Structure 1
Amino acid sequence: MRDDAIIPVQPKAPATATLHRLEMFGRAILGLLECRRCFVFTLSRETGFALQAVRIGLDRSTQPSADVITRLAQREEWQTADLFAVDPADAPAAELLGRKQEEPEHALAGRLPAGDREDLVFLAGWRVKPFSATEIACFSRAANIIWTTMQSFMHRRSDDLSPDRLVEELAFPAFSIDHKWRVIEMNEAGRQLLQAKTPLRLDNGVLVGPNAFVNNLMQQALRDTIASRSERAWANRLVPLSTDHRAFAFARIGAAPAERQHMDRLLVIIPQLDPVAGAKRIAAAFGLPWAEERIVQLLLRGEPPAGIGRHLDLTEATVRTYIKRIMLKLGINRQIEFFLLYILTLSPFVDGCRDPAFPNELESRASLIAVDRLRHARA
């Protein structure tokens, strides 16, 4: 599609904002469907023409023709379903997604309302496993939820997304800072944390850590976050503030929503450790039995092996054997890495839960993701 064919349908909404929203949706769909590439575009119901489009996992220098996109949008399948599996021999789909002969062959096409005058259409592939009817029904609901949620966030007024307002709404200690770590705003939990002077404190209005090593990590995380914001990568960074098992603490640093004149604003959150919820998430991800989950919970509370033994009526030697066995299952070799797994399995939505019927396939996938993240954290 030529650049001059990509025009915004609503002049009030900047084209870049709409394209960014489409890209975010496409990346979420890739993760949901376990596919490699995604083509997403908005379609005018009045004219039947594509308005704006993004391609994820594809070479942006090669654009498909408008005719191919129009043929996809006019498919008869849309008359009976809003989501359907695509035949691997489908020429337009292959052109839109760029499939090589040795690649998997399963793809999915979806269409859902995107506004009063337009629809959102996406094509995602290629997946190794075929899509079952049950999966397609679930994916259809999930795609609608993802897009609706994304729309609700993007349509909020800018003052609703101000860093100051956001900080006040957070339950954890949170700070809005500038590029020099100067505190601009903090919530009540943040004030209480600073009164304790651990693990952070104020020095002439600047947030500082407990030692020079942590301060250097904080500075590097700040530089990385600002750089990612300028590149629209929107990364966030983790900084360990204390590795003491009995007082483990870390900070999440990310770009904060702000007006153009305050683009150096960042958001710092100090999550509070929840050993019970953390042990449940780790146990669910790695398939640990209840006895081992209890040991992980006590380790996250900072209990030494002797203390764990007293809690569970076990000898210290037995507890150490249990810990070694658990670490082997988790693929870690230091006890501090239990806290890293706590962070890496932390969900932004809901706490993990114990469920005997938790699908083995999903457990294995979660385990691989956590171990892979841990390896990257070590590197």
Structure 2
Amino acid sequence: MQGKLLQGVFMALSHQQKVYIPKDVRSNQYISAEIIVTDELLAHYPDYKTCYQTLSRTIFNLGEQQEIYNLHVITNDKLPVVRFHTEAYSFPTAEQIIFFYNPEYHEAQTLHSKDDYRARKIRIVFLATGEDIRSNSANFHIKVQSFLAKLMPLLPEKQLRVKVRDHQHLSYDLFAKAKGNKESYGYKLRSISNRYQARECPLPEGHGSLCYVTVKLPLSRKLKNALLPADTNDFTPLYQKLEEGFVEATAGKQLKHIAMVANGLTPLVRNSKFDQVDGTDEVQMLGFDPNVEQQQFIRHWDGDRLVETVSFTIAAETKDSKEGGLGRYLNRVEEALKSFTAGLEFDKSREDLIVRFHQHISYQAPDQLLDK
């Protein structure tokens, strides 16, 4: 009897550690390697253009050898953002390059540069290709590490440092079932470091990590009419109502690291312990320290401005990444979002609420990694 009881408890705990995600979930991974541009590096070339073109040719040739098939070199200091799409194209803004692609069949080798511009960093962006992106993520990271180890001796300056960032996310409609998509798959989510350790992919000690969820709530006419008085140019009541509902829903699930952005800027989440979190004209930086247990609530909205979508972010704490905790964390996030939207004029059968579950790691590549 006691054995059956223990088995039941174990099965219940195992079920809590899993999150059931629609089968049409989309998985993405991209890795960036950032190399600081120094005077010593530029001294090997007659001008910036020659430097960028020569280095990119070296990078692209090595990419062919290493079987890395979607590779971009950015020398205009624009920030890469990656999204899934059935068509492949890059959309540049003043500060960003948004890459749209399907990992199953899109390939590319592209230099994104500005001839008379001195870059602060040369960014090499590796987009994962093929199928089963998440299960093959460690192998892709190993491949990029091998690429960098072979690239550095080919560069004319030997004292260059490399910052590596690995970005992975799953995206899906929270209300897929309400639209008739009943099939789901149980994910027992693990941290990147645990997954990579199991696949013998080395990561330096002290690497930074961050896990969070983002959603963008479209402000439909029906939703706005329900929360705003007619003929008003003051949108403060709308944003206050959304903020109050979001804070209440997340507090009910003990989710303490949250943000709401409704100022027209693109939210960019960083670990405030390791990265600067200054904003720009296009990007709203959000800095969370996952080791801090106290409430961290970041709000950026302007009652004089009506935006098309409101962005919400829920970051995980360090304890959420331990011992199967990520599954429980994402379940709590889903429950909080469902509670939040239940109080709004939101049509689950027609409108999408895309959940993006992000996992990031970053580290300064150590000499032993680059000297393989």
Q: TM-score range by the shorter chain?
A: under 0.3
* Structure that is richer in helix per residue: 1
TM-score by length of 1: 0.23
